Amino acid sequence: MKQLGKKILSSLVVLVVLVLVFEPMVRVDAAYIKEQFSVSEGITYKDYRLSDNRYNQAVRVMGIYLPNKYAHIDVGVPVALNALERTTSQARRHTTQGHAVVGAINASFFHLGTAMNLVSKDNRLIHAGEIFPGSDKYVNQPIAFGVNSSGKGIIDYYNIDMTYTHNGSTYEISSTNKIRYENETILYTSDYTSSYTDTNQYGREIVVTLPSKPSYEFGSTVTGQVSKVRAFGDQTKTEIPKNGFVISGIGKGRDDLENIKVGDSITLSVDVDSKWKNSQFMLASGPLLVKNGKVSMTMDPNSANARTRAPRTAVAISKNGDRVYYVTVDGRQSGYSNGMSLREFANYLVDLGVDTALNLDGGGSTTMAVRYPGKQYATLANSPSDGYERAVSTTLLAISTAPPSTFSDVRHDFWAYTQIESLVGNGTISGYPDGTFRPNLSISRSHAAVLLVNELNLDTENVTNPGFRDVKTSDKYYKFIAAAANAGLLEGKGNNKFDKDAQLTRAEMAVLLQKAFEIPSADKSYFPDVKSSHWGYDYINALAANDLAGGYTDGTYRPDRPVTRAEFTTFIYRANKQ
Mapping DSSP to helix (H, G, I), strand (E, B) and coil, where does residue 248 land? Answer: strand
pTM over 0.85: no
Contact partners, residue 44, CB within 8 Å, separation at least 6: 1, 36, 37, 38, 62, 63
Sequence-separated (6 or more) residues with CB below 8 Å from residue 377 = 88, 91, 92, 95, 101, 371
Task: Kindly give the pairing relationship between strand 169-172 and strand 160-166.
Answer: antiparallel
Residue ranges of domains in the chain? 8-151+278-400, 160-272, 417-577
Q: What share of the chain is helix, strand, coil (3-state, %, to 5)?
A: 20, 30, 50
Give the class (CATH, top level) of 160-272: mainly beta
> pLDDT value at position 69?
93
- Kindly give, in sequence order, each residue whose CB lies less than 8 Å from that of residue 17, ignoring residues fewer than 6 positions away: none
- The mean pLDDT value for 317-345 works out to 97
Model confidence at 1, pLDDT cuts 50, 70, 90, reads very low
Whole-angstrom distance, CA of residue 395 vs CA of residue 393: 7
Query: Residues 465-504: pLDDT tens digits?
Result: 999 999 999 999 999 999 999 999 988 888 889 999 999 9
Q: What pLDDT score was predicted for residue 191?
A: 84
Lowest average pLDDT, out of 136-140, 191-195, 277-281, goes to 191-195
Distance CA 216, CA 498 (A): 74
Mean pLDDT of the 100-107 span: 97
How high is the pLDDT of residue 15?
Answer: 32
CA distance 229 to 194: 19
Q: What is the pLDDT of residues 220-245, one digit of tens each?
A: 999 999 999 999 999 999 999 999 99
List pLDDT tens digits, range 147-206: 999 999 999 999 999 999 999 999 999 999 888 999 999 999 988 878 999 999 999 999
User: In sequence order, which residues have a C-beta less than 8 Å from that of residue 60 and are 6 or more positions away?
Assistant: 45, 46, 47, 48, 326, 327, 328, 329, 368, 370, 381, 382
Report the first-to-last Cα separation within the chain, whole angstroms: 39
Residue 373 has pLDDT above 90, yes or no: no
DSSP 28: P
Distance CA 186, CA 178 (A): 7
Asked if pLDDT for residue 301 goes beyond 70, the answer is yes
Strand-pair category, 185-188 with 175-176: parallel
CB under 8 Å to 375, separation ≥6 — which residues?
none
Q: How far apart are CA 329 and CA 368, in angstroms?
A: 9
pLDDT(27) > 60: no
32-44 mean pLDDT: 92
- Give the pLDDT confidence score for residue 29 in this predicted structure: 53
Give phi and psi for 4, each to the nearest 5. -70, 120
**How does the average pLDDT of the chain come out, rounded?**
90
**Contacts (Cβ under 8 Å, ≥6 apart) of 162:** 125, 128, 172, 173, 175, 176, 187, 268, 269, 270, 271
Q: Which residues, in sequence order, are CB contacts of 6 under 8 Å at separation 6+?
A: none
Handedness of CA 379, 383, 387, 392 (dihedral sign): negative
- Across the range 212-219, mean pLDDT stands at 93
Tell me which residue of 495, 486, 488, 503 sits closest to 442, measured CA to CA: 503
Distance of alpha carbon 429 from alpha carbon 541, whole angstroms: 26
Q: Is the dihedral of CA 374, 375, 376, 381 positive or negative?
A: negative
Cα distance between residue 225 and residue 470, in whole Å: 90
User: CA 578 to CA 575: how far, in whole Å?
Assistant: 5
Given this model, what pLDDT does residue 45 score? 97
Amino acid 158 reads Y
Give the count of beta carbons closer than 10 Å to the beta carbon of residue 241.
20
Cis peptide before 287 (omega within 30 of 0): yes
Cα angle 551, 548, 557 (rounded to 5 degrees) comes to 20
